[in-house]
Structure 1
Amino acid sequence: MNKVIATLLAAALVVPFAAEAQPVQRHDRAEQARYNQHDRGDRHDRRPQATSPRQQHQIHRFARGDRFDRNRAANYRRLDHRQVRRLSAPGRNQMWVRSGNDALLVSLRNNTVQRIVPNIF
């Protein structure tokens, strides 16, 4: 019986000190409002950063009517419409090219993008 009472007294002395040793976490409402439900908790941007001029050109996405420059196209290749399933036959003075995962129909007269087939590769 004495051992039980001694153990309870020792626990009663240790528990308040252990509770004080834990840090108190307080969150301001402004800090909580800044991050929404889609935040993963890390505040660092983990997207790949382009470091060299060559890598900066690979990120470029073309839009219809843009002037096409093969140096800005990532993974540039001329395409044969017979070998790629979703491509129609190009018209006169047009050709299909690959830029990234997209296929672009480019006019040879003024070098502009006429049509884009996204995510074909």
Structure 2
Amino acid sequence: MKKFILSALAATLVASPLLAAAPAEAQQRREVTTVRQNNNGRTVVTKKTVVRAPQQRNWRAGQRFDRRQAQNYRVITTYRNYRLAAPPRGSQWVRSGNDAILINGRGNVVQVRGGAFR
């Protein structure tokens, strides 16, 4: 009986992160079904899966910057228009959502200016 309880407890601990992650994944994927009729009277059913991009990410200094995770990614060349200081050599300002992010040459976040593009 003791072995059964310990094995059930171990299985619960292993499966709990997987079960907790499932609802978040389900919110990002959605299946859309479209039903229409052709001119000849046939009914056509089309199914497709729509994947929504994740919501805006909160960047912090020291993190590794990945432009695939940035929302509305752009390289900022006219940084003075947004009241940003000139980036040091090898660094650049980029846009992620409404935030301006200073990235060094290695791809790490140096500074984040929240709400720079309102």
Instruction: Report the TM-score when normalising by structure 1.
Output: 0.52
The answer to whether the aligner puts 1:67 opposite 2:64 as a matched pair is yes
Contact 1:94/1:106 (CA < 8 Å) preserved in 2?
A: yes
**Runs of 4 or more consecutive aligned structure 1 residues displaced over 6 Å after TM superposition:** none
User: Between Structure 1 and Structure 2, which shows a larger proportion of strand residues?
Assistant: 2
Counterpart Cα distance in 1 of 2:103 and 2:114: 14
> What is the aligned counterpart of 1:55 among 53, 56, 62?
53
Unaligned 5+ residue runs, structure 2? 1-26, 30-49
> What is the aligned counterpart of 1:98 among 87, 95, 100?
95
Query: 1:80 Cα shift?
Result: 1.6
Query: What do the CA deviations read for 1:49-91 (whole angstroms, capped 9, x no partner)?
Result: 54366512x4322111110000000000000244523101000
**Percentage identity across aligned positions?**
39
The alignment's C-alpha RMSD in Å is: 1.9
Aligned-partner SS, 1:74: coil
Determine the structure 2 residue equivalent to 1:119: 115
Unaligned 5+ residue runs, structure 1? 1-48
Structure label with greater radius of gyration: 1
